[in-house]
Amino acid sequence: MAGSKKDPTKLADAAIVGKVISDIKRGAPMNRGTLGKLSGGEPVLTFSTMHFDSTHRRATASYFLWCGMDCGRGQTLLPEKRGQDWAVAKVCSEFVM
């Protein structure tokens, strides 16, 4: 279909994934050149799995956004349950490109 966008829910084929893994192992920068192979050139947003303490009132989580060559942001957060809501208790690490 002409003019249609690539479906972002579809996984890249195995050959492209293999190339990206190879690029990362050799130290290629995590930019649109590398991640764009998986996303079709679109920005990439990733979220980690949340890991909870034994009380399930504290956790760790990370997110990363790569939006192009030398463009991105990410944080590792410590969310904490306060009453019925969650709030960020601490930002452990952060990067901005």
pLDDT score, position 82: 93
pLDDT value at position 56?
94
Residue 48: what pLDDT? Answer: 87
Dump the DSSP string for 42-64.
Answer: S-EEEEPPPEE-TTSSBEEEEEE
Q: Give, for all 97 residues of the chain, the pLDDT tens digit.
A: 455 555 544 555 666 667 766 776 676 665 555 555 565 666 778 888 889 999 999 999 998 887 766 677 889 999 999 999 999 999 998 888 7
Q: What are phi and psi of 18, to 5 degrees?
A: -60, -40
Can you give the pTM of this predicted structure? 0.54
